[in-house]
Amino acid sequence: MEVGSLPVELWRVILAYLPLPDLGRCCQVCRAWRELILSLDNTRWRQLCLGCPECRHPNWPSQPHLEPPSWREALKHQALATRTWTQNGPELQSSACLLFFRRRKDRRVWHVGPGCEFETLRGALGAVGPYDRVVLHPGVYEEQAEVALKVPVEVIGLGTLGEVALLVCMEQQCPTARLCNLVFMPPWFSTVVYKTSWGHVQLDNCNFEGAQLQVRGPGTCQARFCSFSQGSSAHLLGVVLSLLESCEFSGSDTASVTVEGPPVSERNWACKHLAALARTFPLCGISGNNGSSPRGRLGSSTCGHQLPGNNIKKEHVKVDDWQKRNKMDVVDGEHSEGEEESQHGDKTNTKNSLDYKIPYNNHGLSHLLKLQADGSLPLASSSDPQPVTPEPLTLQQELERDPEAQMLAASSLGCILRRCLFRDGKGGVHLSNYGQARLEGSVFRGLNYAVRCIQNSTIVMLRNEVCECRASGVFLRLSAQGLIAENNIHSNGEAGLDIRKGANPIIVCNRIHSGLRSGVVVLGNGKGSIRSNQIFNNKEAGVYILFSGNPVVSGNHIFQGQAAGIAINENGRGMITENVIKENQWGGVDIRRGGDPILRNNYICYGFSDGVVVGERGRGLIEGNHVYCNKGCGVWVMSSSLPQLLGNYITHNCMYGLAVFCRKEGVEEGRERQENLNEEGELFAWESDLDSEDERHSARRSISVALVESNCISYNGAVGLYVKSSEPLNVFANLINCNRSIGIAVLQSSQLTRLVTNCILENGREGVAVEKDCRVELRGNGIYENNGHGVSFSGNGQIVENDVVGNRGCGIQVSGIADIKVLRNRVQPSQGCGIAVLGAAKGVVHDNLLFQGHPGNKKTLLDKDPSNESCVLRNNNIQRHDNSCTSAPPWILENPPPRPLASSPTGLSSSQYPSRLGISMTTRISATVESGCHSGSMFCSIL
């Protein structure tokens, strides 16, 4: 009969009465009939699938409200899986005639129950032949001793699930068996209700209540649509391959699934069939879908290049809008006399009206201010941050560049758990002693912990949900390893992931969020590669590294945390590269108490406190980062720390660009306590895990003075570089321009602060301001067109071989009781004196070259207080304009050219540093906050 002879709707009504075999035959008639049969997916195929007594809803137990992509495919998969246990036939390849000796398809069916052939299960099992079926009628079957399965057999409960209960302990001594539609409860003498040590068992639609399933390699197990409740568990020892699919585990007293021991070398007949079933599931991550990124404003980037392979998201944010949005206030200190004059005097006499301007545009750092190849403004001279941030890589991209992760994603050894639900118990999956497991599409909810992987075990977790655990969600230690990818880990009581004791997993493309503590914790010599994750909205640090933890943290988006984005403490180390760290309540990166990471090429932006905080005894290499649009300081450094800041862009922050303070934080009494990251109250002697000091620092250049070198500090809301320090400080080859207040302010410096070969340009107040009692050396700097004095100096030290040109106040003003040497500088003021010595300052001013600035300026180029007899002026050269000459003097800075003369950093190159370091955990530290951020970080405490 032609399909077109009847309406499609009528055909569907007719075909809805056909049983499954007839539907299959109809599919083979022709293409039109096949398409018609396939169109019944949501009607007849759904009815057949849900009506199968041996199976449940395809998405049971975790998502029974969601329909599968195809009911027909779900039914097909169930039918194929049901037959796995019967495929124990010899490989007949030697002769075709052996086909006649294959096992017959027909088999006997034995009924057990009141009034049936057998009244006890033991009696039926003693009489069955190979591959016979034993049907248990409703009732409770109890055996007082262990029951052995000596031939392949199928045991099925009749009726609905729960009507047939077994109080038995069964040991399988045959190659294969199948149990279906049964409830297992432990007998009086053992909690183990089923065990096998070499055969294959298939469990379909069974319930385990307070009982244990035990499988020992080379035995294998396939469990589908089973429930493990009231403390039930599955214990797998040395299994090569087992498959637990669509099972529910609840109310466990220990771990619901325990995988122990390495897979044995011997394999049974079922391994190849289970491997084929495993391949019927799509490999997670191959689709490349990393999920939509969480809501939240992406910060802009000040990086002129893009990271290779990254997607780029753009958002144009003007600094004025950011300042209005965050009500930014400029942090003002005391105004100098020169600045008051510049702010309230004749506004027509601005820096742009300098008649005899000396060009300086070819100084050593001018390449940072020139237009880029595409005509856009460079990072250092753009009034708006660059609107570019890298997107995290997809899992597909991560697998393509990491062969080890790709191999783990394709592996299928040990225990495979798919689409299972673990809830309301103590533990989910526990791996130990080289065990192996693979978890896909499962849900872990309301447990003490979801996964614990220890003792050199290997875990592969793909697309699972781990939530509401009372302790850490995923816990790895004792050299555990594996791949954790595309999971949703959230709302856990402790860390989402806890890595320690030499564990070294690959953690990529996960969403780790909404935790009551930190997102990821790495401690106790823990390692790991944490890449391309979205870590957000955690109550404590997004990534917390301590006690010699040593991960690689790369390409992550860490945002909207209620504390620091990344915290490195207690001798923590690590390689932290190419992350986007934004919108965190505290420091974007917080380094304290021996923390010694490499922090390179990160985007640290839009934070509600400081960008980078280097607290007490913090160390580390901070290189090539983009720190911008933070509401506090760009970088906040305590003078007891020894960081190296090299080649960073610190721009558009609401307070100081870089602030160095000497006052230590006050620790609130009663709040300092060590984080409790030990489950079940376990105490570990972390001291035994720490590397020796010689080993820790063997790969790193040892420094004794904090170093600030080759950075761009621009467009910040207050002082560019603010120093109030009790330790020495080296500031070399930095570009400090267009900050709203002073370029460099040294308010306290009991030991020597060296300012060498910097370019200090167009800042809102003085170029350099040094207060009394400070020890400062200025050498080889270019100080150009600042709105106050070029240099205002009230301390002790020397000003040697600087170019101080075009500043609105005096070129160099020395005041107070300073003891100073002003030697071989080239100075041209805009309105004030060239060099002014005020008060009782003592020292020498000699061999300086002074140029006349604005022709209307009546102030002398070299001025000294008449009452001052302790300052010696000698051999200074003053260049004035001859009024008889109509043209402006062709003054230029030559021999040498405009300073700074070079921008090459003295530090080691990036390639000379190790690629993997380690990190630590911290005590709670709290800082007293004073207005204006003069005494400490705006929020300089971390969890």
Point out the least confidently predicted range of 340-349, 357-366, 436-445: 340-349
pLDDT at 221: 95
Share of the chain above pLDDT 90, in %: 56
Angle value at C-alpha 359, between 355 and 361, nearest 5 degrees: 140
Distance between CA atoms of residues 112 and 137, nearest Å: 6
pLDDT at 823: 96
DSSP letters spanning 625-679: -EEES-SS-SEEEETT-EEEEES-EEES-SS-SEEEE-SPPPPPTTT--B----G
Nearest to 489 by CA among 519, 522, 530, 457: 519
Spatial neighbors of 837 by CB under 8 A, at least 6 apart, are: 814, 815, 845, 863, 864, 865, 868, 871, 873
pLDDT at 652: 95
DSSP letters spanning 1-28: --GGGS-HHHHHHHHTT--HHHHHHHHT
Q: Is the pLDDT of residue 904 over 90?
A: no
pLDDT at 853: 81
In a domain, 821, yes or no: yes
Q: What are phi and psi of 142, to 5 degrees?
A: -125, 140
- Beta bridge pairs of residue 626: 603, 649
Distance between CA atoms of residues 409 and 287, nearest Å: 13
Distance between CA atoms of residues 522 and 545, nearest Å: 5
pLDDT at 832: 84
Per-residue pLDDT tens for 650-698? 999 999 999 998 754 433 333 333 344 444 444 333 334 444 343 444 3
C-beta neighbour count of 892 within 10 angstroms? 12
C-beta neighbour count of 890 within 10 angstroms? 8
pLDDT at 871: 86
Q: Which residue has the higher pLDDT, 905 or 938?
A: 938
Residue 786: C-alpha distances to residues 5, 735, 759, 782 (Å): 91, 13, 11, 11
Q: Which residue has the higher pLDDT, 635 or 936?
A: 635
pLDDT at 294: 41
pLDDT at 154: 92
Distance between CA atoms of residues 716 and 197, nearest Å: 70
Nearest to 846 by CA among 825, 832, 860, 866: 825
Q: Is the pLDDT of residue 934 over 60?
A: no
744: domain CATH number is 2.160.20.10
Per-residue pLDDT tens for 149-159? 999 999 999 98
pLDDT at 906: 40
Count CA atoms closer than 13 A to 791's CA, side-chain side. 33
Segment 123-129 mean pLDDT: 92
Segment 210-221 mean pLDDT: 94
Q: Which residue has the higher pLDDT, 411 or 677?
A: 411
Q: Which amino acid is at 414?
A: G
pLDDT at 74: 67
Coil vs helix vs strand at 237: strand
Burial 553-574 (b: 16+ CB within 10 A, else e): bbbbbbbbbbbbbbbbbbbbbb
Q: Is the pLDDT of residue 85 over 80?
A: no
Q: Which residue has the higher pLDDT, 861 or 782?
A: 782
Helices (H), 692-835: 693-697
Q: Which tokens go with 826?
A: 């080239």
What domain count does the chain have?
A: 1
Q: What is the DSSP letter of 44?
A: I
In a domain, 689, yes or no: no
Q: Is the pLDDT of residue 434 over 70?
A: yes
Q: What are phi and psi of 650, to 5 degrees?
A: -115, 100
Residue 170: C-alpha distances to residues 177, 190, 227, 259 (Å): 11, 11, 18, 21
Q: Which tokens go with 477?
A: 């230690």
Nearest to 271 by CA among 175, 195, 342: 175
Q: pLDDT-based confidence at 506, cuts 50/70/90?
A: very high
Radius of gyration of the chain (CA): 37
| Terminal Cα-to-Cα distance of the chain (whole angstroms) | 75
Helices 8-15 and 31-38, packing angle to 10 deg: 70
Spatial neighbors of 355 by CB under 8 A, at least 6 apart, are: 853, 854, 855, 888
Query: To the nearest whole number, what is the mean pLDDT of the chain?
Result: 81
Segment 62-66 mean pLDDT: 69
Per-residue pLDDT tens for 443-473? 999 999 999 999 999 999 999 999 999 999 9
Q: Is the pLDDT of residue 139 over 50?
A: yes
pLDDT at 140: 94
Distance between CA atoms of residues 32 and 3, nearest Å: 7
Point out the least confidently predicted range of 464-473, 531-540, 703-712: 703-712
Q: Is the pLDDT of residue 532 over 60?
A: yes
Point out the least confidently predicted range of 350-359, 414-423, 752-761, 929-938: 929-938
pLDDT at 938: 52
Q: Is the pLDDT of residue 275 over 60?
A: yes
Token pair 């000091």 is found at 693
Total count of residues recorded for the chain: 943
Segment 720-732 mean pLDDT: 93
Q: Is the pLDDT of residue 935 over 50?
A: no
DSSP letters spanning 445-491: ESSSEEEEE-TT-EEEEES-EEE--SS-SEEE-SS-EEEEES-EEES
Point out the least confidently predicted range of 360-364, 493-497, 554-558: 360-364
Point out the least confidently predicted range of 437-446, 831-840, 896-905: 896-905
Token pair 């075909």 is found at 15
pLDDT at 910: 37
pLDDT at 864: 84
Per-residue pLDDT tens for 587-606? 999 999 999 999 999 999 99
* Structural domain span for residue 727: 621-663+704-879
Q: Is the pLDDT of residue 879 over 90?
A: no
Segment 228-240 mean pLDDT: 94
Per-residue pLDDT tens for 468-505? 999 999 999 999 999 999 999 999 999 999 999 999 99
Coil vs helix vs strand at 122: helix
Distance between CA atoms of residues 229 and 421, nearest Å: 11
Q: Which residue has the higher pLDDT, 925 or 267?
A: 267
pLDDT at 325: 53
pLDDT at 89: 55
pLDDT at 812: 94
- Beta bridge pairs of residue 461: 439, 484
Q: pLDDT-based confidence at 885, cuts 50/70/90?
A: low
Distance between CA atoms of residues 761 and 735, nearest Å: 8
341's enclosing H/E stretch is helix 337-344
Q: pLDDT-based confidence at 292, cuts 50/70/90?
A: very low
In a domain, 849, yes or no: yes
Token pair 């923590």 is found at 572
Q: Is the pLDDT of residue 257 over 80?
A: yes
Q: Is the pLDDT of residue 756 over 50?
A: yes
Segment 739-767 mean pLDDT: 95
Nearest to 594 by CA among 612, 569, 614, 575: 569
Q: Is the pLDDT of residue 364 over 70?
A: yes
Token pair 């709105």 is found at 787
Q: What share of the chain is helix, strand, coil (3-state, %, to 5)?
A: 15, 30, 55
Distance between CA atoms of residues 41 and 75, nearest Å: 10
In a domain, 791, yes or no: yes
Q: Which residue has the higher pLDDT, 340 or 873?
A: 873
Q: pLDDT-based confidence at 610, cuts 50/70/90?
A: very high
Query: Pairing between strand 388-390 and 312-314?
Result: antiparallel
Distance between CA atoms of residues 563 and 430, nearest Å: 31
pLDDT at 403: 95
Q: pLDDT-based confidence at 426, cuts 50/70/90?
A: very high
Point out the least confidently predicted range of 5-19, 100-114, 326-340, 580-594: 326-340
Distance between CA atoms of residues 39 and 46, nearest Å: 11
Distance between CA atoms of residues 724 and 637, nearest Å: 10
Distance between CA atoms of residues 854 and 881, nearest Å: 10
pLDDT at 745: 97
Q: Which residue has the higher pLDDT, 379 or 427?
A: 427
Distance between CA atoms of residues 650 and 652, nearest Å: 7
Per-residue pLDDT tens for 794-827? 999 999 999 999 999 999 999 888 789 999 999 9
